[in-house]
Chains A and B, each alone.
Chain A
Amino acid sequence: MRFLRSRGGAALAAISAALVLLAGCGGSTQGGADEPSGPPQSGGSATFGVTGDVSGTFDPAKLLSVSGTIADGTVGSLLYGGLVETDPKTQQVVPVMAKSLTSDDGTVWSLVLRDGLKFSDGTAFDAAAVKLNWERHADPALASGARGVASSFASLEVVDPTTLRITLKDINFQFPRSLALFAVNWIASPAAIRAGTLGENPVGAGPFLLKERLRDDHMTFVRNPAYYDAPRPYLDQVVLRPIPDGAQRLNSAATGQLDGLVALTRNDAVQGEQQGLQVLSVAMSGGTSMYFNFAKPTSGDVRFRQAMRLAIDNAAVSEAVEQGNGPETSTFFAPDTAFYDQAAAFPKPDLAAAQKLIDEMAAERGGPISFTFLVDQRNEQLGTAVQTQLAALKNLDMKLEVASQFLPTQRQASGDYEVSVQNNFNLDPEPRIGLLLQPGNARNFLRYDNPEMTAVMQAGRATQDLEQRKAAYRKFDEIVNRDVPWVLFLRANPNVLWDGSKLRDISVFEDGIVHWDRVWRAGT
C-alpha cells in the first residue's frame, strides 16, 4: 500500500500552465500499485462494492460529482467516460475524451474533442453535444450539482464539430479542475436528452453500458463495444453493489462476494490489507468536516463555531471512528501538498476556552445552547463520537439526527440544517473549496459570505503562478482559523481495495475512481 503524493510545486505550476494537453496521454496517469502486470486479457467480470446507490437517476444532471466516495462518480465514469480527469499523483488535469483544453488569458478556453467520438446510440459526440449538455446543467429547474460550473460560462460557441469555445464570466486558470470534478465532465447523447429517457436508460460514450439494476442492490454494466479507446475496456461486465455499511463491504469481500470495494476510512483499509486485499489510497487535503450553516442563529455565531473547534479533539474522533489509524489532521492542507503550511495549524483542543465561549452565549440567550447535528448513516459513528466529546461541555445540548446517505447533502444544499457533516477533501482548493466559500453559489452549503475570503479565493483562481497561489492560501488558512466555517476532524482519504489475484491494472483518478476501462481479470 502506498500513498499517492503530490510532486509539489513544479507539478502544480504545470497544471495551470499545461494549457496544451496532448492527446493520447490519457493513459499516462497510472496510479496503480505494484502488482504483476502482463498483457491485459479481455473478458470476465468484476464485482465492486460502492458506498451506496446513485443519489438520483443516471442523468448526468442528477449525478452529484466526479468522486469515488459516492456511487455517482463511478457510475458516471462508466457510462459517460469523461472529457478530462485529474491524476491524483501529479494533481494534474489531463485530457481523456477531449484532445486539449487551452487558454491564454484564463477567461476564453478552447475545448478540442477527439475525432470520431460516438455515443453508444451511434450519434456523434461533438462540440454541439457538449454545448447542449452544458446549457442544460445551467437550468435551475433541473437542480444539477454542476449548475455552479455551468453558470460560470458567459458564452459557449461551437467553432467546428470538434472545437468549443468557452468564455467564462470571471478569469479562472483553474477551470479544467471544475470540469474534471463536476458532472459537466460527463456528456450524454443529445438524442437521449431530447427523448427524456436519460434517467433510466442512459446513453453516453463511456466504456460501459447499463444492462440492468435493482435499486440499493446492484447495477450491472456491460462492455461498450464502440468505446473510443479499443481494445479497452477489457472486462465484459462490471457489477456495482451499493453497500452503505463499511464493515459489511469488507465482510463481503472477505467471503468472496466482492472483487473490490471503496473504503472510506483508513481503518477499513488496514483491515482490508489484513484480509490480503491490495490497497490504493489517495492522499488529499481537507477531509471529513463539521459544516456550519451561517444563516442559523446558533451556528452563525462565531463563538459557537470556535467553541466547537476548541472542544473537538481530532485524535479522539479518529480513535473512535478509525481506531486511531487515520493520517494526521492538524492543518487543512495535508503535509507534502503544495499549499501545506505547518504554521497554519488549527488551535489545540481547549475545553475550558470552549466552555467560556458557550457560557458567554448561554448567558446572553438566557439558557443552554442547543443544536442539531445532521449526519448520514455512514457517519453515525462519527456523530456519536462528537456527541460524546461535547458531553463534557455544560450549557450545551447536541441532538444527533441520522438520515439516509444523500439526505444531509440535499439538506445542506437547500440550507435546511444547523450543523452537519460533509467531505471537503480535495486535490486542490479549486474548485470545491472555492465554490463552497463563494457567496451565492449553489455549492456554498455554509451560506458563508466574507468579502475578505472571497477576494482571497478569487486571487487563488486568477493566477497560474504557484507562489502567488501559495500566498493566497496562506491567507485562507488564517481566515479559516478565525471564522471557523468548518471543523475538520478526519482526513478520510478514500481507498480502493481489491483482490489482486483476480483484478489487474487497477489505477484511479480524482479522489479514487477506478479506471474501469483499463482493469482486466486474471485467468479469464
Chain B
Amino acid sequence: MKNSTTPTTTAPVPAVVEGPAPPPPAETAAPPVARAKRSRTILVKLAIGWLAVVVLLAVFADLLPIPGYDVRIGRPAMGPSWDLASLLGTDGLGRSTLSRLIYGARVSLAVGVVSVLIGMVIGGVLGLLAGYLRGGFEKVVTILTDSLLAYPPLVLLLAITSTLGSSLRSLVISLGLLCVPTFTRLARANTLAFAQREFVTASRALGGRPLRIIFREILPNVVLPVASYAFVMAAVVIVAEGSLSFLGLGIPPPSPSWGGMISAAKDRLATQPHLVFIPAAAMFLTIFALNVVGDRARTRFDVRESAL
C-alpha cells in the first residue's frame, strides 16, 4: 500500500503542481537513503516547529506585549534593537515590524486555513458524490471544475477582487473557490478507488442507501488522503494572497499582510533591506514548512496511486 517507487510514468499529472511535486522517489538509490531519510525527518520536525510557532503567535497575538500593528512607535525604518516592540525595527511609517509580522501571520493563516477549509468541504463533497454516483452528475462536476481551472489562478483572483472589491471576505471567498477544483479531483479519485472495495460493495448489496454509504463508508477513508493536501494548498493560498497584496489588491490597509509589507518596503530595498527581508523570510519559511509537512503528509496518507 505504500507509495510505490515509481509514481507511474506520470499519473494524470499531479493535481497540485508546484510546491508539492510528485513524491520524491528517493528509494530508488540504496546507500544514502537512510541519511537522506533522517535529514528529512529532522526537516519535517523543524517545519512543524516553525508552523507551531507561527500559529501560536498569530492566535495569541492580542495577549502578547507588543504594540498595535497600526500605531507609530518611533521613527520610520529603524533598525532592530533590544526592545520587544522594536525587536525587528520599524516599518516605513514607524510602526513595529514585529507587531505587523505577527498580525500579518494572522491574516495569512486565517486566509490559508479558512479558504482551504471552504475548498475542502465544497470540493470534497462534490468529489465524493461525483466519484460514487458517476454518470451525469460526475460529468457536470467535471465540467464545473474544468471551467474553474480554465482561469489562471491569479487572473481568477484578480477578476473576483475587481468585482467584489478587496476585503478579507472577498479574498477568502475567491481563494476558497480556487481550492475547490483540486479537492474535487482528489476526493473523486480517492472515492473511485474505494467505491470498488469489498466493504462498499457489501454495504451496497445489503441495500444501504447511497448517501449513507458515501458518508459512512467512503468518507472516513477518503478524508485523510484528501486532507493531506491541505498543507500544500495552504501554501498555494498564502502565496496567492501575498501576490494580491503585493499588487495592492489584497487586504486593505492598515491591516498588515506579509505580501503588503514586502510591497510597501520594496522601494527601500537598496537603503533598508531589512524592511523587505524580514517579512520575506517569514513568508518563505512558512511556505517552505507547509510544503515540507505537506509532502510528508501526502506520502503518508495518499493511497490513491497504489490503489488505482
Further pairs besides A245-B267, A384-B254: 11, Cβ < 8 Å = A246-B267, A247-B267, A316-B94, A320-B92, A377-B248, A388-B71, A388-B93, A391-B72, A392-B71, A400-B253, A400-B254
B138 interface residue, CB < 8 Å from A?
no
CA distance A47 to B120 in the complex (A): 52
A316 in contact with B72 given A381-B264, A384-B93 (CB within 8 Å): yes
CA distance A270 to B74 in the complex (A): 23
Interface string of B68-112 (1 = CB under 8 A from A): 101110011100000000000000111100000000000000000
- B residues sitting closer than 8 Å to A (CB atoms) are 68, 70-72, 75-77, 92-95, 248, 252-254, 264, 266-267
A392→B253 contact, CB < 8 A: no
* CB neighbors of B among A226-268 (8 A): 245-247
B68 partner residues in chain A, CB cutoff 8 A:
391
Query: Within the assembled complex, what's the spacing in Å between the Cα atoms of A400 and B70?
Result: 13
A68 at the interface (CB under 8 A from B): no
User: Of all chain B residues, which has the CB nearest A399?
Assistant: B252
B residues less than 8 Å from A246 (CB atoms) = 267
Interface residues of A, count at CB 8 A:
22
- Contact A320 to B93, CB < 8 A, known contacts A387-B70, A388-B70: yes
With a cutoff of 8 Å between Cβ atoms, the chain A residues found around residue B264 in the complex are 381, 384
CB distance from A321 to the nearest CB of B (A): 9
Q: CA–CA, A266 to B220, complex, Å?
A: 64
**Are B248 and A380 within 8 A (Cβ)?**
yes
Given contacts A320-B92, A381-B92, A392-B72, contact A247 B266 (CB under 8 A): yes
Q: Is the CB of B266 within 8 A of A388?
A: no
Bound complex: CA A287 to CA B226 (Å):
58
A-B contact pairs, 17 of them (CB 8 A): A319-B75, A319-B76, A319-B94, A320-B94, A380-B248, A381-B264, A383-B253, A385-B93, A388-B71, A388-B93, A388-B94, A389-B72, A391-B68, A392-B71, A392-B72, A399-B252, A400-B254
Which residue on chain B has the smallest CB distance to residue A268?
B267
Closest Cβ–Cβ distance, residue B117 to chain A (whole Å): 28
Near B by CB (< 8 A), chain A positions 376-413 give 377, 380-381, 383-385, 387-389, 391-392, 399-402
- A395 smallest CB distance to B (angstroms): 15
Query: How many whole Å from A390's CB to the nearest CB in chain B?
Result: 9
Q: Which residue of B lies closest to A245 (CB)?
A: B267
**Cα distance A380–B93 in the bound complex, in angstroms:** 12
Q: Does A370 count as interface, using CB distance less than 8 angstroms?
A: no
Any chain B CB within 8 A of the CB of A414?
no
- Contacts A247-B267, A316-B72: A388 and B248 contacting too (C-beta < 8 A)? no
**Most chain A CB inside 10 Å of its own CB: which residue of B68, B72, B93, B253:** B93
Give chain B nearest CB distance to A382 CB in angstroms. 10
Q: Among residues 305 to 321 in chain A, which have CB atoms less than 8 Å away from a CB atom of chain B? A: 316, 319-320
B29 to chain A, nearest CB (A): 45
**In contact, A323 and B76 (Cβ under 8 angstroms):** yes
Say whether B70 contacts A391, CB under 8 Å: yes
* Nearest 5 CB-CB pairings of A with B: A247-B267, A391-B70, A388-B93, A320-B93, A384-B253
Which residue of B has the minimal Cβ distance to A383?
A: B253
Query: A400 to B250, alpha carbons, bound, how many Å?
Result: 13
Of B75, B77, B95, B267, the contact of A388 (CB 8 Å cutoff): B95
Alpha-carbon separation in the docked complex, A377 to B77 (Å): 21
* Chain A residue contacts of B252, Cβ below 8 A: 399-402
Do residues B248 and A402 form an inter-chain contact, with CB atoms below 8 A?
A: yes
- Tell me which residues across on chain A come within 8 A of B71, comparing CB atoms: 388, 391-392
CA distance A381 to B92 in the complex (A): 9
Contact with B along A173-186 (1 / 0, CB 8 A): 00000000000000
Distance in angstroms between the alpha carbons of A387 and B252 in the assembled complex? 12
Q: For A401, list chain B residues within 8 Å (CB).
A: 252
Give every chain B residue within 8 A of A380 (Cβ-Cβ): 248
A402 to B260: give the CA distance in the assembly, Å.
Answer: 13
Contact, CB under 8 Å: B76 / A387? no
The distance in angstroms between the C-alpha atoms of A377 and B263, with both chains bound, is 13
CA distance A383 to B68 in the complex (A): 18
Contacts of A320 in B (CB 8 A): 76, 92-94
Q: Bound state CA distance, A246 and B266, in angstroms?
A: 12
For B248, the chain A residues whose CB sits under 8 A away are: 377, 380, 402
| Interchain nearest-CB distance for B101 vs A (Å) | 16
Chain A residues lying within 8 Å of B95, measured Cβ to Cβ, are 388
Residues of chain A with a CB closer than 8 A to B266's CB: 247
Inter-chain contacts of B75 with A (CB < 8 A): 319
The residue among A377, A388, A391 with the most chain B CB atoms within 10 A of its own CB is A388
Interfacial chain A residues near B93, Cβ < 8 Å: 320, 384-385, 388
Q: Please give the distance in Å from A249's CB to the nearest CB on chain B.
A: 11
Which partner residue on chain A sits nearest B266 by CB separation?
A247
A387 touches B254 (CB 8 A): yes
> Taking the nearest CB of chain A, how far is it from the CB of B114, in angstroms?
22
Q: Give every chain B residue within 8 A of A385 (Cβ-Cβ).
A: 93
A399 to B255, CA, bound (A): 11
State whether A391 touches B267 (Cβ < 8 A).
Answer: no
A399 CA to B253 CA in the complex, in Å? 8
CB distance from B265 to the nearest CB of A (A): 11
Contact call B253/A387, Cβ cutoff below 8 A: yes
A323 contact set on B, CB distance < 8 A: 76-77
A8 to B49, CA, bound (A): 68
Min CB distance B71 to A, Å, is 6
* Closest partner residue, chain A, to B70 (CB atom): A391
Chain B residues whose CB sits within 8 angstroms of the CB of A391 once the complex forms:
68, 70-72, 254
Residue among B95, B248, B253, B266 facing the most chain A CB atoms (10 A cut-off): B253
Enumerate chain B residues within 8 angstroms of A377, measured Cβ to Cβ: 248
Q: Given the complex, which residues of B lie within 8 Å of A388, measured CB to CB?
A: 70-72, 93-95, 254
How far does the Cβ of A339 sit from chain B's closest Cβ, in whole Å?
A: 33
Closest to A385 in B: B93
Q: How far is the CB of A259 from chain B (nearest CB, A)?
A: 21
Nearest-neighbor residue (CB-CB) of B69 within chain A: A391
Chain B positions within 8 Å of A402 at CB level: 248, 252
Query: Bound complex: CA of A386 vs CA of B77, how far in Å?
Result: 17
| B95 closest partner in A (C-beta) | A388
When distances are taken between beta carbons in the complex, the residues of chain A under 8 Å from B253 are 383-384, 387, 400
Give Cα A384–Cα B257 distance, bound, in whole angstroms: 14
A383 contact set on B, CB distance < 8 A? 253
Closest residue of B by beta carbon distance from A247: B267
B69 to chain A minimum Cβ distance, whole angstroms, is 9
Per the bound structure, the CA–CA distance linking A238 and B203 in Å amounts to 79
> Complex Cα distance A385/B76, Å?
10
Q: How far is the CB of A328 from chain B (nearest CB, A)?
A: 18
B72 / chain A contacts, CB cutoff of 8 Å: 316, 388-389, 391-392
